[in-house]
Amino acid sequence: MRPFTIHEGLVAPLDRANVDTDAIIPKQFLKSIKRSGFGPNAFDEWRYLDLGEPGRDNSKRPLNPDFVLNQPRYSGASILLTRDNFGCGSSREHAPWALEDFGFRALIGTSFADIFYNNCFKNGLLPITLPAEAIQSLFDLVTAVPGSTLKIDLAAQTVARPDGVALHFDVDPFRKECLLNGWDDIGLTLRHAELIKEFEARRRIEQPWLFA
Amino acid sequence: MAQTLYEKLWNSHVVRTEADGTALLYIDRHLVHEVTSPQAFEGLKLAGRKPWRISSIVATADHNTPTDHWEQGIQDPVSRQQVETLDANIREVGALAYFPFRDPRQGIVHVIGPENGATLPGMTVVCGDSHTSTHGAFACLAHGIGTSEVEHVLATQCLLQKKSKTLLIRVEGQLGRGVSAKDVALAIIGRIGTAGGTGYAIEFGGSAIRSLSMEGRMTLCNMAIEAGARAGMVAVDQTTIDYLKNRSFSPRGEIWDRAVAYWRTLVSDPEARFDAVIDFDAARIEPQITWGTSPEMVAAVGDAVPAPEDFADPVKRDGVARALQYMGLSPRTPLKSIKVDKVFIGSCTNSRIEDLRIAAAVVRGRHKADNVKAVLVVPGSGLVKQQAEAEGLDKIFRAAGFEWRQPGCSMCLAMNADRLEPGERCASTSNRNFEGRQGAGGRTHLVSPAMAAAAAIAGHFADVRELA
Ligand code: SF4
């Protein structure tokens, strides 16, 4: 996994609550057996005027000019600003894969759905939760000033605005450590293989029906 | 110290805990389907790792499989490749059980686990699928995981988890005639919102929950995820134990007795404290219909579509306006006047035998309305289908002009050929009404099986209680 330390980038505002994973990556693209290549189909139904299918050349498809990520001022954005309950719905990890492949490194919103939140950390994508007033102030900033960027410092747990104001955010220490270092969870867990074996052996005796 | 059911399940699975409380939880049952597993199996192989405990795995193909013309196989080459990839992975790795495409026991992953006794009380159950919460009906700690976590569980038999807060949703009293677990689920989501349960594990309790069948409890726990909670659960009682007796993977003989003695402890202690408690009066829950593009956009059958200005919060107001536009509905339209083009009875929410019995009881001796283009009845599994046919339910549906299909996820998410065309409106017993969920441009209204059947007969939404 790619480590996340400090990231500064252009911010795109997606001013909707309850953005679900079906919207982030529609189901027809879940038929892929790969982990990559989902970026061109991120937000497919909002982004294009026609219907996307796997295997189509997305560069030839008509773009929806009204969709915020299609506006030239947000081209190259790497931070997505959003509202409440982002990533609700299906557990598909294809959603963070698509966002990451699109070029996002961080998401900032008032809340994220649990499974999606978890999935982001496994893919080097940092979801940041801030209070509603702070989110509103960022929406105001980003829409008022073209080219607005934010600087995210994971170690310091801050989001710095161009005017120097730094907003503090919370993150679990364990998740933070893994993301800062780009650690592979499985490798970490397997260091405790002996403990797992002991636990399992005890369970086998106490609840043998689980091991039929 | 007094413990909630969630705390008992949690504590009995902790292998170790990090300083910040992140725990390594042991996983008893790993359910696998074709959509969220290929990248996990590939990752495992690339890293040269072996699966930790093959006998924890129960797998099936459900999302991509067609629901008719099984003799022709899977026509869509991309879907076929995904299903064949699962076949190959299981062949290579192994499993306790695999119910591939066209197997008599194939079906939706959340239907086959419980009906085969592969979901047992006290287990941790995971699957790369958000509706894994369904299995909580058996007092399991059950939740959906992402593909990286699927790989993690394959490789280590464990999952890294942060403990959730606990929420007790208590539903007391008796449900009215024509009101089922689906209406309870929708009414709860309507009140607490789709983010209302975020960060919580929900326990459903109260007399109305205790009087639900296991099928009803599964419907309710299934939609815990739509309420924002990763896990929903119901305590063990006699109903749970009776359901599990003699299922294929249920324990037998002396081990059964030992298991039952343990399962009976899987209830919240009377003195246990929850972080939050919300009460509902069962008698006041009416048949529900969603009118928007989020499960929280829901109302009782006698109500009308709201107007954006009914909502004070500007973000909500925008969301409602956008939803009404997508749904092609004007404010103040009575829900009962809305015509439907298609009806879908199926999905891991409502495709079990009890759901089909309820729908058939409404349909018996009637015929679908002419304006309804198609009614799909898709049993949740091969075993459900067999049982329904043994009871003659298929004949009732067919006589009414409904289509009786093969098991699978079908039009719940429209990854196979079953889907809505742009603009089509559907009464659906599934769990999500997101934009495009049942096909790009399709409009989904979530309802119970009884209400779906009533809509099919009337041609528009109808109050099943008024259908004499
Ligand atoms: S029936 Fe629908 S919700 Fe359930 S597992 Fe299948 S696609 Fe997911």
Residues in contact with ligand 1 by the CB-under-6-Å rule are B 62-63, 108, 110, 129, 131, 347-348, 409, 412-413, 430-431
Cα B108 to ligand 1 centroid, rounded to whole Å: 7
Q: How many contacts does A have with B, using Cβ atoms within 8 A?
A: 189
User: Which of A16, A91, A172, A175 has the most B C-beta neighbours within 10 Å, making it the best mutation to test the interface with B?
Assistant: A91
Return the pLDDT at B468. Answer: 62
Q: Does B409 touch chain A (CB under 8 A)?
A: no
Q: Listing from the earlier edge strand, what are the strands of the sheet with B124-127?
A: B97-99, B57-60, B29-32, B124-127, B141-144
Percentage with pLDDT > 70 across chain B: 100
User: B155 to chain A: nearest residue by CA?
Assistant: A186
pLDDT tens-digit series, residues B90-136: 999 999 999 999 999 999 999 999 999 999 999 999 999 999 999 99
- The number of CA neighbours under 13 Å toward the Cβ of B73 is 9
Residue type at B193 in one-letter notation: G
What mean pLDDT value characterizes chain A? 95
pLDDT tens-digit series, residues A65-101: 999 999 999 999 999 999 999 999 999 999 999 999 9
Yes or no: say if B180 and B216 are a contact pair by the CB < 8 Å rule. Answer: yes
- Written as one string, the DSSP assignment of B181-249 is HHHHHHHHHHHH-TTTTTTEEEEEESHHHHTS-HHHHHHHHHTTGGGT-SEEE----HHHHHHHTT-TT
Provide the token pair at B95: 């499993």
Reported as a pLDDT band with limits 50, 70 and 90, residue A149 is: very high
Q: Is the per-residue pLDDT at A207 higher than 90?
A: yes
Q: Which CB contacts under 8 angstroms, 24+ apart, belong to B45-54?
A: B47/A186, B47/B155, B49/A186, B49/B154, B49/B155, B50/B155, B51/B93, B51/B94, B51/B154, B51/B155, B52/A196, B52/B154, B52/B155, B52/B156, B52/B157, B53/A200, B53/B157, B54/B93, B54/B94, B54/B95, B54/B96
pLDDT tens-digit series, residues B346-381: 999 999 999 999 999 999 999 999 999 999 999 999
Cβ–Cβ gap A23/B435 under 8 Å: yes
Whether pTM exceeds 0.80: yes
Pairing of strands A126-129, A106-109: parallel
ipTM field: 0.93
Distances in Å between the Cα of B345 and the Cα atoms of B137, B141, B454 are 21, 28, 11
Length in residues, chain B: 468
pLDDT tens-digit series, residues B63-99: 999 999 999 999 999 999 999 999 999 999 999 999 9
**Could you give the CA distance from residue B284 to residue B12 in angstroms, rounded to a whole number?**
38
